[in-house]
Amino acid sequence: MGLDPIRRFFAPVVRWVLHRYWRFSRGLTLGARALVFDGEGRVFLVKHSYVPGWHLPGGGVEKGETLLAALERELREEGNIEVSAPPVLHAVYFNKRASRRDHVALYIVRDFRLVAPPQPNREIIAHGFFAPNELPADTTRATRERLAEVLSGRPPAELW
């Protein structure tokens, strides 16, 4: 009976300490990417200034941001693409190449509009829509694999 006040006092402190420990020792990072298909079945790809190859558009989810908000922000920033119908979540992947705690949510976007033609900038040096059988030679392995999964209907892999 004498321990109840002590437990009531220390329980919130212990929870707070454990929460902080888990946040820094087990935290994960999360990204959102999209396979954006136009009316001709072509897929939108971007080329970054800081990493080689052609990639699916997308990026990291910021603190306090939802996956969909991050996806919509990245599509606007990287391609002037405005989503006009809810994207469909295809899969969530573990991206161990980036870190031991990184995950990527991949969405399918078929309903969108181009607000304006995308322009190269400091982050995105090139972009375009490409037929799946005519991807640029330096399209990344992960981009090719995600596209093949979706187009073939095969189950998604666990790893990005």
Write out pLDDT tens, residues 101-112.
Answer: 899 999 999 999
Residues 74-107: b if buried by 16+ CB within 10 A, e if exposed: bbebbbebebeeebeebbebbbeeeeeebbbbbb
CATH number of the structural domain spanning residue 114: 3.90.79.10
Q: Which domain holds residue 132?
A: 28-152
In this structure, which amino acid lies at residue 71? Answer: L
Domain for residue 87, yes or no?
A: yes
Total count of domains within the chain: 1
In this structure, which amino acid lies at residue 10? Answer: F
Confidence band for 30, pLDDT divided at 50, 70 and 90: very high
Task: Pick 34 or 98 by higher pLDDT.
Answer: 34
Computed over every residue of the chain, the mean pLDDT equals: 90
Domain for residue 159, yes or no?
A: no
Domain for residue 13, yes or no?
A: no
Domain for residue 10, yes or no?
A: no
Domain for residue 1, yes or no?
A: no
Domain for residue 20, yes or no?
A: no
